[in-house]
Amino acid sequence: MRFDEAFLDEIKSRLRPSDVIGRTVKLQKRGREFVGLSPFTKEKTPSFYVNDDKGQFFDFSSGKTGDLIAFLQESERLSFVEAVERLAAEAGLSLPSPDPRAAEHEKKRQGLSDWMDLAAQWFSRMLAGPQGAAARAYLERRGLPASEWARFGLGFAPASRTGLKDYLVTKGARPAELVEAGLLIAPEDGSAPYDRFRDRILFPIVEGRGRIVSFGGRAMDPEARAKYLNGPETELFHKGRTLYGLPEARRLLAAAPPDAQPALVVVEGYMDVIACQRADIAAVAPLGTALTEEQMELLWRRHPEPTLCFDGDRAGRQAAFRAMDRALPLLTPARSFRFSVVEGGKDPDDVLREQGAAALRSQLSRTTGFSEMLFRREFESEPLDTPERRAGLKARLRAAASRIADRDLQSAYRDDLLARFEAALPSRAAPFPGPDGRRRSSGQGRVWIDPAPTSLGRTAARRLASDLDLSAAALVRWILEDPTCLDACLETPFAAAGFGEPALAGLVKEIIRLRLQSEHLDSQGLARHLAGRDFDALLTDIDRAAAKSGAPFLKQDVSLEDARSQWSQAFARLSRLVALDEAVSTAKGNLGGTLSVDAFSRLKGERDRLRRQIRNWQDEP
């Protein structure tokens, strides 16, 4: 009888290894482990460990390790089926009935899996052969030596349209089978299928039992439409239920010393997973989708508190936030997540190449808890400059806590989030602005100083100090998407001054500096550089202000050419408006002298008309 992985995982989720093994081995609790004398060798000093979190036993005297099924097979000489039957009965589960259709389905899956194995072998030979010279050079430039390629099953698909197809057909494959496996593409016009992966470095995607179910390919051509390409959903491969790198991550967790508390890290890409695993960090990655509930369950079976490590840019933060929303209802006292951001806008692969394994382990060990990350997200989502907005924050924190299904944890989260709220926004005991604009305590005449005892409070104070000019924010928002638009005004004082908005000056100067250094600066490179440089809160404010501005060049349906033209016009108008503002201010002090009242009125009128046009984004007459 064959058992699917879901059934085996259900057995393991219902039984604690320490309870089952403890019936035949005398175990003592030691930290997060149980320890006892080896049941496989004669020893006087305990070297047999059981870890319930990992679902594993470790016997250092005999070198044996594994899960509950493996323990019964080793200790009682049971077959795999006998061990499963014993544990299923103990867990209160009925064995699945034999199903001829299921057997036929499994036979078909096994046939597809065989073709995947042969494809992996062919890709590996192509990487080692003359066709793979450029791919080998690329991997070595990325700091991945040839000695590691076999460990991760790396391969290469040549640019040939039917290279893999021709090879597998000679081995007996039918093209229709290879289409089902996701290795070939069948054109809609009914013409002959062709290879899905061409001119790409190949990463095998392996499911929990060690079977190759698909491939991911990294394009060698920098102009390729898709830099990374995963195989499609098939009988073997379901993206939302698979994690890249899981078998190797499980091996690293199992190999950790019994008294260690190894991390399980979720990163964003193939090379990041490989970098972490080369540094002995158990790491996995989702496959082109947001982290799903099924993937979270896979993670929690191996670790009670995996670490989510996303890029520090806005896209990375949004991915982390989506994961938080999906995880909230599933949290329990024994299942949560932590969060980590690699410093300097880099990713784990960069850190390993540039700083080494020790630096990567150090950075990923610095994590933030789920509750703190959730509070930061809500705290930074909008300005907190009015009672209504502060009340809105408190309501959002309560609502977030209420989504946790576990009642005890829900209550603990609500208390924690509201305590963070009070620490970040301490009570304002009747302060009011004095005639000079500074806040004073009621009836005492002393300058009131908000204590802001936390870093979050100080961040809030800085953000409450000013509201961004909407037009200037819109100009900067487009620069973040299209840095080349700055080229015509790189050396203008108006640009360096933040387009008339002092709060933006530091950010714009940094972008100008980067643009002068690199002609190839694009939005992604800019985002990576700005991440982790204390601009995160300002970038959030820019997004919010730009959305309110109504700037036409930020609309989705505007072509790139039109957007650039509209941005240039807006830049010229805003520059002119700032000059007119300065002229009006100077003219006020000259009234009655060389400047007549009529001339002043005309100057002020021109300034006010231009201001209205900019506010409404009107064309000039």
Rounded CA separation 72/87 (Å): 9
Q: Does one domain contain both 260 and 361?
A: yes
Residue 203: pLDDT band by 50, 70, 90 thresholds? very high
Task: Say if residue 588's pLDDT is above 80.
Answer: no
Whats the size of the chain, residue-wise?
621
Give me the domain span that covers residue 564.
470-616
Least confident window among 203-207, 462-466, 468-472? 462-466
Which of 217, 237, 257 terminates a domain? The answer is 237
Residue 591: pLDDT band by 50, 70, 90 thresholds? low
Round the average pLDDT of the chain to a whole number and report it.
Answer: 83
Q: State whether residue 299 is helix, strand or coil.
A: helix
Which of 187, 202, 237 terminates a domain? The answer is 237
Q: Does one domain contain both 306 and 385?
A: no
Does residue 100 belong to any structural domain of this protein? no
Task: Say if residue 513's pLDDT is above 90.
Answer: no
**Cα 160 to the chain's mean position, in Å?**
34
Question: Which position has the token pair 């299923």?
Answer: 88
Mean pLDDT across 586-598: 62
Does residue 57 belong to any structural domain of this protein? yes
Look at residue 424 in the predicted model and tell me its pLDDT.
85
pLDDT tens string 426-447 = 654 434 444 444 443 333 333 3
pLDDT tens string 4-25 = 777 888 888 889 999 999 999 9
In sequence order, the 6+-apart residues with CB closer than 8 A to the CB of 236 are 109, 112, 113, 116, 181, 182, 207, 211, 213, 214
Look at residue 265 in the predicted model and tell me its pLDDT.
96
Which of 322, 348, 366 terminates a domain? The answer is 366
Does residue 460 belong to any structural domain of this protein? no
Rounded CA separation 74/25 (Å): 13
Higher pLDDT, 534 or 295: 295
Residue 244: pLDDT band by 50, 70, 90 thresholds? very high
Does residue 79 belong to any structural domain of this protein? yes
Q: Does one domain contain both 408 and 442?
A: yes
Q: Does one domain contain both 387 and 362?
A: no
Looking at the structure of the chain, the number of domains it has is 5
Task: Say if residue 548's pLDDT is above 90.
Answer: no
Higher pLDDT, 126 or 561: 126
Q: How many CB atoms lie within 10 A of CB 276?
A: 31
Look at residue 198 in the predicted model and tell me its pLDDT.
95
pLDDT tens string 307-348 = 999 876 677 778 888 899 999 999 998 899 999 988 777 889
Look at residue 312 in the predicted model and tell me its pLDDT.
67
Does residue 78 belong to any structural domain of this protein? yes
Look at residue 437 in the predicted model and tell me its pLDDT.
43
Q: Write the CATH number for 24.
A: 3.90.580.10
pLDDT over 90 percentage in the chain? 37
Burial of 218-239, coded b for 16+ CB within 10 Å and e otherwise, reads: bbbeeeeeeebbbbeebebbeb
Task: Say if residue 613's pLDDT is above 80.
Answer: no
Look at residue 196 in the predicted model and tell me its pLDDT.
95
Look at residue 178 in the predicted model and tell me its pLDDT.
95
Rounded to two decimals, the pTM is 0.60
Higher pLDDT, 209 or 82: 82
Q: State whether residue 279 is helix, strand or coil.
A: coil
* Cβ(17)–Cβ(51) below 8 Å: yes
Q: Does one domain contain both 420 and 515?
A: no
Q: Does one domain contain both 478 and 609?
A: yes
Q: Does one domain contain both 326 and 383?
A: no
pLDDT tens string 457-467 = 545 444 444 46
Rounded CA separation 306/337 (Å): 5
Q: How many CB atoms lie within 10 A of CB 251?
A: 12
Look at residue 482 in the predicted model and tell me its pLDDT.
85
Higher pLDDT, 438 or 421: 421
Does residue 519 belong to any structural domain of this protein? yes
Q: Does one domain contain both 345 and 380?
A: no
Q: Does one domain contain both 233 and 114?
A: yes
Task: Say if residue 278's pLDDT is above 90.
Answer: yes
Q: Does one domain contain both 382 and 361?
A: no
Q: Does one domain contain both 182 and 316?
A: no
Q: Write the CATH number for 303.
A: 3.40.1360.10
Which residue in 225, 233, 229 sits closest to 216, CA to CA? 229
Q: Write the CATH number for 192.
A: 3.90.980.10
pLDDT tens string 363-388 = 899 899 999 999 999 998 888 888 88
Q: Does one domain contain both 269 and 352?
A: yes
